[in-house]
Amino acid sequence: MRFIQIGVGGFGKGWVQRLTDNPSVELVALVDVNQTNLTAARKVGNYGKEICFSRLNEALKNIKADALVCVTPPEYHKQCVVPAMKAGLDVITEKPMSSNLPSCLSIMKTSRSTGQTCVVSQNYRYKPETWTLARLVESGRIGKIGQVKIDFYMGHDFGGGFRHEMEHPLLIDMAIHHFDLVRFVTGLNALSVRGESWNPAWSNYKGDSSSSLVFEMENDARVVYNASWCAKGQFSNWDGNWHIEGSKGTISYENGKISLYEVPKLYKVEKTKTVAAKGPKNTAQAFVLNDFICSVKDGRRPQTDVFDNIHSIAMVFAAVKAVGTGKRIPILDKRVQQLSRDA
């Protein structure tokens, strides 16, 4: 499959490596407005200058391709993936789908009208640890999910860039991973959210970098999400620390360790077990890429196509509205639900 990649600096350089390493991929064009980024990306696979472009429309006009990987900042996703789909390319876009709901809806409508696949790279699903959490819940070992607590604490300095300028850097750029994991691990969609956000005095982010939220889920379960991107020590893993409680027990995931507590009657723990993490053969972005290629070839929907992913990114937009208004906010309105069902 012939790929164009737009956005090859920073995190994008890692995608260049993954595309280069995949035997099913031919990387036919690199697109970036920054020539230094293009020069560095060329070195990954010893690519020539002839595959480098500063604008996507130039690449689409001059290169025959089957697919696009978009690794630009979120506010530019729509203007990259919509033209690509209209040009007949299937698309992988980095998370989040976009930085606002109207752009997400435009991406979804274009995918539906063109018939082109558009998948959002939710790579946190495909780590051995989170994969194992999902399989344990699916197995029924802890019964019906009743409440989940997720703590994410990370003090991380990107050294400037778009994240430090966002109004809600934690919720828009990072929490999408955790919200998507909530759906993946529990098998439930969120119905509503309420909460608060703030920015501690020492934070070097302009927008709110800490938040506390409560999600109501489909089966009346609650998910409590406490998070900070400017934490002073005692950091969690990037996927957070989890406490998943069901009618028959609890799964605890803390700093990479998974523990299963069997509690079949009321509150007495009858058995405790440490569970070894076991994931798919391909993990993270490698899984996303292979699943995308196989899905396009087989004519099936990828796991995190835009019609599924809207349930995750809508949690972000609803959370932003909730912390701004102090009200409980529904996750999806009827028009978005219908658009998702139409897929």
Which of 121, 156, 178 is the last residue before a domain boundary? 121
In a domain, residue 162? The reply is yes
Q: pLDDT tens, 205-221?
A: 999 999 999 999 999 99
Same domain, 217 and 85: no
Which of 106, 121, 136 is the last residue before a domain boundary? 121
Give CA separation, 85 vs 73, 116, 230, 287, 317, in Å. 18, 6, 38, 22, 24
Same domain, 115 and 251: no
Same domain, 267 and 129: yes
Q: Which two tokens stand for residue 213?
A: 């939220």
In a domain, residue 342? The reply is no
Same domain, 15 and 57: yes
Give CA separation, 265 vs 178, 249, 304, in Å. 30, 9, 37
* One-letter identity of residue 195: G
**What's 105's domain CATH number?**
3.40.50.720
Same domain, 54 and 143: no
Is 212 or 235 the better-scoring residue by pLDDT? 212
Residue 21, phi then psi, degrees to nearest 5: -80, -20
Instruction: Give yes or no for a contact between 57 and 40, defined as CB atoms under 8 angstroms apart.
Output: no
Q: How confident is the model at residue 183 (pLDDT cuts 50, 70, 90)?
A: very high
**What's 142's domain CATH number?**
3.30.360.10
Q: How confident is the model at residue 111 (pLDDT cuts 50, 70, 90)?
A: very high
Calculate mean pLDDT across residues 243-256: 95
Q: Which two tokens stand for residue 63?
A: 């290169």
Measure the CA–CA gap between 8 and 162, rounded to whole angstroms.
16
In a domain, residue 311? The reply is no
Q: pLDDT tens, 296-343?
A: 999 999 999 999 999 999 999 999 999 999 999 999 877 777 777 766
Tell me which residue of 28, 154, 10 sits closest to 94, measured CA to CA. Answer: 10
Same domain, 189 and 72: no
Does 159 have pLDDT greater than 90?
no
Tell me which residue of 5, 7, 22 sits closest to 293, measured CA to CA. Answer: 22
Calculate mean pLDDT across residues 232-261: 94
Q: Which two tokens stand for residue 95?
A: 């998370």
Same domain, 108 and 130: no
Which of 91, 121, 151 is the last residue before a domain boundary? 121
Q: Which two tokens stand for residue 325?
A: 């208004």
Calculate mean pLDDT across residues 137-151: 97
Q: How confident is the model at residue 166 (pLDDT cuts 50, 70, 90)?
A: confident
* One-letter identity of residue 144: K
pLDDT over 90, % of the chain: 84
Tell me which residue of 323, 310, 307 sits closest to 170, measured CA to CA. Answer: 323
Measure the CA–CA gap between 166 and 315, rounded to whole angstroms.
18
Q: How confident is the model at residue 160 (pLDDT cuts 50, 70, 90)?
A: confident
Does 181 have pLDDT greater than 80?
yes
Calculate mean pLDDT across residues 222-249: 94
In a domain, residue 333? The reply is no
Residue 88: per-residue pLDDT: 97
Q: Which distant-in-sequence residues (6+ apart) come within 8 Å of 263 by Cβ?
A: 248, 249, 250, 269, 270
Residue 83: per-residue pLDDT: 97
In a domain, residue 204? The reply is yes
Q: Quote the domain boundaries for residue 23.
A: 2-121
In a domain, residue 294? The reply is no
Lowest-confidence pick of 205-214, 230-239, 243-252: 230-239
Residue 343: per-residue pLDDT: 66
State the total domains in the chain: 2
Same domain, 13 and 106: yes
Same domain, 177 and 84: no
Q: How confident is the model at residue 253 (pLDDT cuts 50, 70, 90)?
A: very high
Residue 338: per-residue pLDDT: 72
In a domain, residue 194? The reply is yes
Residue 281: per-residue pLDDT: 87
CA 219, 145, 151, 340 torsion-angle sign? negative
Same domain, 76 and 193: no
Is 156 or 2 the better-scoring residue by pLDDT? 2
Same domain, 13 and 76: yes
Same domain, 79 and 164: no
SS3 content of the chain, % helix, strand, coil (to 5): 40, 25, 35
Does 10 have pLDDT greater than 90?
no
Residue 342: per-residue pLDDT: 67
Residue 302, phi then psi, degrees to nearest 5: -65, 160
Q: How confident is the model at residue 173 (pLDDT cuts 50, 70, 90)?
A: confident
DSSP state of 233: S
In a domain, residue 77? The reply is yes
- Computed over every residue of the chain, the mean pLDDT equals 94
